[in-house]
A and B are shown apart, each in its own frame.
Chain A
């Protein structure tokens, strides 16, 4: 049977506030254990939560960024379960009245096509601490630094159909939240954690199959692998006439498999009820409008603008708009060289290539945008060929100076002096009598191919500096 995969994602996003959602403890990553856990975070008797205004603002920013309704009166609830990294015995979360209601946003797939993915809701809650299971003589070590870090849980509709779409969704979400500046989006540090709900159904069916939930998948690559694995597992069971058990599974990256974690029926009976220690959060129109007015241009808007304003392909526009920093860099390069398409090409191939090679972030890039623009300008005015430009770029990367300085210092300026070029062309013709004979005997189509040999020889003789267009013209004139 042919199966259709149905995927919904729950993303836990750590918000980039300075202090925790309900206490004045810092949220810095990587501090010594329990040095950022205050009496509120430890659930000492009598401690009360006080809500962080910035967490609310960030949630509203996200809601506006996906065109969602903002909960005008949102309510916190207690989600009850026992685990040592949750000292209160309940997590303060939102259940019936979340701060962000239904919305949607556009994702772009590898082939450049776009899809709109629904967001069911997003709600504020507190993160739990961390449990360390190794090396404590049969005991578990608890670090509560993370307890109380603000989270926005973003729940998607079951709109995704395969691993590639799920990854595209996460990348688009990552791009959106970093544009908004509401999270650092650092997956390696757990700032963005993903649960995958996945089920299969026969192609053509419109009822959902029984789903399994895969918890805490923390990189784009693992999301892709976990989904591929889980699709196979469920298909095998269904093909054999079996049934999928609704359960929570854990993805094991080392073994590349998912395995059951705990029985959902028991664990998921959270007995939510309204949090009596917090009052409803009321958000008015003026507050929403103030935030709306402060929103930056978002990735989707930027992508569309790049296509319209600069004539970029959908794919290039998507790459250039991926982060605010890269988009700004690209626009600065385009502005200084005057040709956005070539600028996009250079940013994508050479710049991102070098950054990836050196595992660097854009912030560490040694070549300022204006300098890359200056280099491209030298290609455009025929001072250097594209091939020489790559050498110059390498030198710029090594810190040897601006494009003009390197071109001058290394004597790379393209030879466009027709006298000098003519001498070189004649030399090549004289040295290759056999090829000249072949060329002259060939028809027009074949000549086009054969002339490449002569161009190559002249370029070699000129150490790559001959103006290829002029060489072509001279050769065509001489080879008669």
Chain B
């Protein structure tokens, strides 16, 4: 499986990772190498194998529906860059 440079650029943008233009070619090449390894894995016949969602052989334990948390807004907001009227302030996002 090969990956093109424009796909790398798109994924980087989606993941908010900045890659210097000079490095894009090298990153593309290295990820292509990783994908070669994936190709090897994909060659294995897995038709008898159950898809696995988690490597642990265990199932989810559920929590009773009880309120256990108290309000710790003051402590959390003491370490926030900007707050006002109990809200966290962030750079303007326009939908």
On A, residues with C-beta under 8 Å from B are 17-19, 23-26, 32-39, 42, 44, 50-56, 75, 80, 82-84, 97, 131-133, 136, 138-144, 250, 261-262, 266, 269, 271, 274, 276, 278-282
Contact = CB atoms under 8 A, between A and B. Distances in A.
B60 interface: yes
A18 B89 contact: no
Contact of B92 (A50, A52, A140): A140
Contacts of A50: 61, 63
Nearest to B11: A271
Given A141-B89, A142-B90, A280-B60, A17 B65 contact: yes
The dominant DSSP class at the B interface is loop
B69 A34 contact: no
A142 B83 CA distance: 9
B69 A35 contact: no
Nearest to A27: B67
A136 B89 contact: yes
Interface string B58-72: 111111111111011
Given A52-B62, A279-B54, A19 B89 contact: no
Contacts of A33: 85-87
A426 B72 CA distance: 85
Nearest to B55: A276
Contacts of A266: 14
B59 A282 contact: yes
B87 A142 contact: yes
B88 A142 contact: yes
B77 A280 contact: no
Contact of B85 (A38, A141, A274, A282): A141
B76 A37 contact: yes
A262 B95 contact: yes
- Looking at B59, B62, B63, B68, which has the most chain A CB atoms within 10 Å of its CB? B63
B54 to A, nearest CB: 5
Contacts of A279: 53-54, 56, 58-61
Contact of A281 (B15, B60, B64, B86): B60
B41 interface: no
Contacts of A280: 53-54, 59-60
Contacts of A25: 67, 69
B16 interface: yes
Contacts of B60: 51, 278-282
A442 B72 CA distance: 88
Contacts of B95: 250, 261-262
B68 to A, nearest CB: 3
B92 A133 contact: yes
Nearest to B76: A42
B93 to A, nearest CB: 5
Nearest to B13: A266
Given A25-B67, A56-B62, A140-B92, 11 more contacts: A18-B66, A24-B67, A32-B86, A34-B88, A84-B88, A141-B85, A250-B95, A278-B60, A279-B53, A280-B53, A281-B60
B73 A53 contact: no
A84 B15 CA distance: 14
Given A34-B76, A131-B93, A139-B82, A52 B87 contact: no
Contacts of A262: 95
Nearest to B72: A38
